[in-house]
């Protein structure tokens, strides 16, 4: 059996029963199960419809996401999440660069790296080099004044952990940010690159090797092996090209508000829902959410 999930942007709440009933009747679906009225619903089907991708495209025009997954094993035991532009609304390196007066230059490199146009390792080294001379105290200032948690993130982590899942924050960013963000959201662990400083000033270097695409895949494999699980037990979420490896390896790989190159290759695309979409995809109802 397969489960079809329909998820609207929470601020729109425009998912209507008539739309679901039409799809359900055309595709031989079971009765609708509402996970959150106006926002998320699902039904089961015996097979994947041939034209489902065309329907997906049509629904994008009204800001509704559609996903189809095997019903068995949907509820995952590990959450593996990117941080920048996924669990938080910003790219930390761009915010640091803005404080250093090189914001536009660094942001342009970041955008190209996340689109897969540049080698992640080389792009990170170049961007960090532009931060040389920035006082370490700016990190705390950026955390306090510029960084905001992405919508639905606290519910996602809290709910999965309340149901026994393990949560890991794995970022191509920096430990100075993943540590506080992981603690705030309740992640079990975090992994990222380490910014180097000397005398309270950033040197423009990070510890090597750089944590990029391959390291995220390694994290997925290491964590599941340690827990006696497999990649099929993981739901992974990210938005950039350096996330593709873990998204493709995980049992459920979710491209959330992702760059085009990522969305084209990911198994599940969420363009309109927030991070609670990952809970709806696993069959959690809003009544089951923890905060």
Type and span of the H or E element at 80: strand 78-81
Residue 212: is its pLDDT beyond 90?
no
Residue 140: strand, helix, or coil = helix
- Cα 23 to chain centroid distance, Å, stands at 28
Which of these is catalytic: 21, 53, 65, 82? Answer: 82
Give mean pLDDT, residues 103-123.
Answer: 86
Q: Verify whether residue 58 is a known catalytic residue.
A: no
Closest CA to 273 of 3, 11, 37, 2: 11
Q: How far apart are the first and last CA of the chain?
A: 31
**What pLDDT sits at residue 171?**
96
Q: Verify whether residue 89 is a known catalytic residue.
A: no
Closest CA to 156 of 248, 282, 263: 282
> What mean pLDDT is reported for the chain?
95
Which two three-digit tokens encode residue 224?
A: 């599941």
Between 275 and 116, where is the model more confident?
Answer: 275
Closest CA to 24 of 9, 2, 4: 4
Q: What's the DSSP call for residue 275?
A: T
Neighbour tally for 48: CB within 10 Å: 13
The answer to whether the beta carbons of residues 263 and 65 sit under 8 Å apart is no
**Which of 102-116, 130-144, 204-218 is predicted with the least confidence, judged by mean pLDDT?**
102-116
Give mean pLDDT, residues 143-163.
Answer: 98
Q: What is the pLDDT of residues 250-272, one digit of tens each?
A: 999 999 999 998 999 999 999 99
Closest CA to 3 of 62, 59, 104, 75: 75
Report the interhelical angle of 92-100 vs 103-114 (nearest 10°): 160
Residue 165: is its pLDDT beyond 90?
yes
Please tell me whether the peptide bond between 124 and the residue prior to it is cis, using omega within 30 degrees of 0. no
Residue 149: is its pLDDT beyond 90?
yes
Give mean pLDDT, residues 136-156.
Answer: 97
What whole-number distance in Å separates Cα of residue 58 and Cα of residue 27?
16
Which of these is catalytic: 84, 176, 190, 239? Answer: 84
Indicate the pLDDT class of residue 116, thresholds 50, 70 and 90.
confident
**What pLDDT sits at residue 111?**
87
Indicate the pTM of the whole model. 0.94
Which two three-digit tokens encode residue 152?
A: 């639905």
């Amino acid at each position: 059996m397969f489960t079809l999930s329909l998820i609207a942007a929470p601020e729109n709440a425009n998912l209507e029963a008539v739309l679901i009933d039409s799809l359900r009747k055309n595709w031989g679906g079971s009765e609708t199960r509402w996970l959150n009225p106006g926002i998320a619903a699902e039904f089961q089907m015996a097979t994947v419809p041939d034209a489902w991708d065309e329907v997906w495209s049509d629904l994008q025009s009204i800001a509704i996401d559609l996903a189809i997954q095997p019903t068995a094993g949907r509820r995952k035991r590990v959450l593996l999440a990117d941080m920048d532009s996924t669990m938080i609304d910003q790219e930390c390196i761009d915010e640091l660069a803005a404080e250093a007066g090189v914001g536009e230059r660094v942001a342009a490199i970041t955008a190209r790296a996340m689109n897969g146009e540049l080698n992640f390792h080389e792009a990170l080294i170049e961007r960090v080099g532009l931060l040389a001379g920035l006082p370490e105290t700016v990190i705390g200032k950026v955390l306090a004044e510029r960084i905001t948690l992405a919508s639905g993130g606290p519910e996602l982590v809290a709910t999965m952990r309340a149901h026994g899942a393990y949560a890991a924050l794995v970022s191509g960013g920096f430990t100075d940010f993943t540590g506080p963000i992981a603690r705030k959201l309740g992640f079990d662990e975090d992994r990222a690159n380490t910014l180097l400083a000397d005398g309270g000033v950033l040197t423009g270097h990070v510890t090597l090797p750089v944590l990029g695409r391959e390291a995220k895949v390694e994290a997925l494999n290491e964590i599941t092996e340690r827990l006696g699980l497999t990649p099929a037990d993981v739901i992974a979420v990210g938005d950039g090209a350096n996330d593709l490896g873990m998204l493709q390896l995980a049992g459920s790989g979710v491209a959330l508000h992702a760059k085009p190159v990522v969305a084209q290759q990911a198994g599940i695309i969420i363009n309109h829902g927030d991070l609670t979409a990952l809970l709806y995809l696993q069959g959690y109802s809003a009544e089951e959410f923890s905060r």
